[in-house]
Amino acid sequence: MPNHSSPTSELRISRRQVFQAGAGVTLATAAAGVGKPLLEAASIKPIRLGGKVNHSVCKWCYRDLTLEELAQAAAQFGMQSVELLNPEDFPTIQKHGLVCAMANGPGSIPKGFNRRENHGWLIEGYEKLIPQVAEAGFPNIICFSGNREGLDDEAGLEVCAEGLKKVMPIAEKHKVTVCMELLNSKVNHKDYQCDKSAWGIELCDRVGSERFKLLYDIYHMQIMEGDVIRTIRENHEYFGHYHTGGNPGRNEIDHTQELNYPAICQAIVETGFKGYIAQEFIPKRHPLGSLYEAVRLCDV
């Protein structure tokens, strides 16, 4: 695949590439104008989306594309957001009429709120970042529990709640929701503590603020506990954001994997959810062809 690291490069998806990409990318992709240079704003007609789903995409999955290129394509595809960005990235997406539905926080997956020694720098980081997210008009910022490192789940809940309660006043003031991501500890993030929805829901109850919710990652929770649709229907008030991903492999969300994304997205819509569903799969085929098809698949 060509190197798309230059912001002036042209991304082209020919009809031949569309068909070679596999069954998940169809002639409809080419018919929508994806075969034209993506950096020419008039070259692609936006997908006619239904309006029930707010669509986002995680930048880290597209390392061969610049943020400018991905934002251009997302806007042309009819999406609303590119996410997991830092404040210096915000102007790039804003000029394309996009938001950052989930901003990066100061922590990391292994080092989060379940250690008191992390609370000082985490709280300081959120006190700096939350106002910047609010000023840009964006809704959410991510956080993590951290790895267990021998800490039992009850102690992890206690320490996480203690630290997060100190962040809530500034989150409430600026109307930005802090979302802790649910991740699997079986395959991708060994020893991560917030690896079950029940643990995360208990943490939400202990923090006791409408500005703290969970990022329900469908891929990760399929690995850890399954029963995705029932979990969403019964606990949707705790979920502030959703991520996709094909299981197994965390690749395209098409017929090659086990999750039924149209049914899952329909269940999310039926809960009255008004937030964002973000594509977080690592494409094995042409990245923008796969993104185009994923957005269409989830637009129930």
Cα dihedral across residues 206, 207, 210, 215: positive or negative = negative
Kindly report, residue by residue over 36-94, the tens digit of the pLDDT.
Answer: 444 343 334 566 899 999 999 999 999 999 999 999 999 999 999 999 999 999 999 99
Report the share of the chain in percent with pLDDT over 90. 84
Whether the Cβ atoms of residue 136 and residue 187 lie closer than 8 Å to each other: no
- Quote the CA–CA distance of 261 and 290 in Å, as a whole number: 14
Please give the CATH number for the structural domain made up of 46-298. Answer: 3.20.20.150
Question: How many C-beta atoms surround the C-beta of residue 185 within 10 A?
Answer: 18
- Quote the CA–CA distance of 277 and 241 in Å, as a whole number: 6
Kindly report, residue by residue over 220-276, the tens digit of the pLDDT.
Answer: 999 999 999 999 999 999 999 999 999 999 999 999 999 999 999 999 999 999 999
Average pLDDT over all residues of the chain: 88
Residue extents of the structural domains in the chain: 46-298
- What number is the average pLDDT over the span 186-196? 98
- Give the pLDDT band (50/70/90) at residue 13: very low
- What number is the average pLDDT over the span 175-193? 98
Q: Which residues contact 112 (CB under 8 A, 6 or more apart)?
A: 118, 122, 143, 144, 145, 146, 160, 180, 193
- pLDDT for 48: 80
